[in-house]
Structure 1
Amino acid sequence: MTVPPVPADDDAPLDPRAGLDIVAAQERRVRDSEVDERVLFGVWGAAWIVGYLVQWWSASGSPTGTTSGPAGGVFGLLMATAMVVTVVHLVRRSRGVRGTSRTVGAMYGWSWFLGFAAQSAIVAGVVNAGAPPRVVAVVANGVACLVVGLLYMAGGTLWRVGPFYALGVWLVVTGAAASVVGMPAGYLVMAGAGGGGMLLGAAVVAVRRRSHP
Structure 2
Amino acid sequence: MTVPPVPADDDAPLDPRAGLDIVAAQERRVRDSEVDERVLFGVWGAAWVVGYLVQWWSASGSPTGTTSGPAGGVFGLLMATAMVVTVVHLVRRSRGVRGTSRTVGAMYGWSWFLGFAAQSAIVAGVVNAGAPPRVVAVVANGVACLVVGLLYMAGGTLWRVGPFYALGVWLVVTGAAASVVGMPAGYLVMAGAGGGGMLLGAAVVAVRRRSHP
Aligned counterparts of 2:194 and 2:159: Cα–Cα separation in 1: 22
Provide Cα deviations, 1:143-176, integer angstroms capped at 9, x if missing partner. 0011000000000000000000000000000000
Provide Cα deviations, 1:73-106, integer angstroms capped at 9, x if missing partner. 0000000000000000000000000000000000
Q: Runs ≥4 in structure 1, deviation > 3 angstroms?
A: 1-5, 9-13
Aligned counterparts of 1:72 and 1:49: Cα–Cα separation in 2: 14
Aligned counterparts of 1:4 and 1:16: Cα–Cα separation in 2: 27
Provide Cα deviations, 1:24-51, integer angstroms capped at 9, x if missing partner. 1000000000000000000000000000
Aligned counterparts of 1:70 and 1:9: Cα–Cα separation in 2: 68
Aligned counterparts of 1:149 and 1:83: Cα–Cα separation in 2: 14
* Long gaps (5+) in structure 1: none
Aligned counterparts of 2:116 and 2:10: Cα–Cα separation in 1: 57
CA offset at residue 4 of structure 1? 6.0
CA offset at residue 13 of structure 1? 3.2
Structure 1 residues 11 and 178: CA distance shift in structure 2, 3 A: same
Aligned counterparts of 1:178 and 1:51: Cα–Cα separation in 2: 15
Provide Cα deviations, 1:59-79, integer angstroms capped at 9, x if missing partner. 000000000000000000000
RMSD: 1.3
Tell me whether 1:29 sits opposite 2:33 in the alignment: no
* Long gaps (5+) in structure 2: none
Aligned counterparts of 1:71 and 1:8: Cα–Cα separation in 2: 71
Tell me whether 1:117 sits opposite 2:128 in the alignment: no
Structure-1 residue corresponding to 2:184? 184
CA offset at residue 11 of structure 1? 5.7
Secondary structure in 2 aligned to 1:95? coil
Q: Give aligned-pair identity as a percent.
A: 100
Aligned counterparts of 2:127 and 2:10: Cα–Cα separation in 1: 74
Aligned counterparts of 1:21 and 1:35: Cα–Cα separation in 2: 23
Q: Which moved more, 1:90-99 or 1:10-19?
A: 10-19
CA offset at residue 14 of structure 1? 1.5
CA offset at residue 10 of structure 1? 5.3
Aligned counterparts of 2:17 and 2:171: Cα–Cα separation in 1: 47
Secondary structure in 1 aligned to 2:116? helix
TM-score (norm 1): 0.97
CA offset at residue 6 of structure 1? 1.6
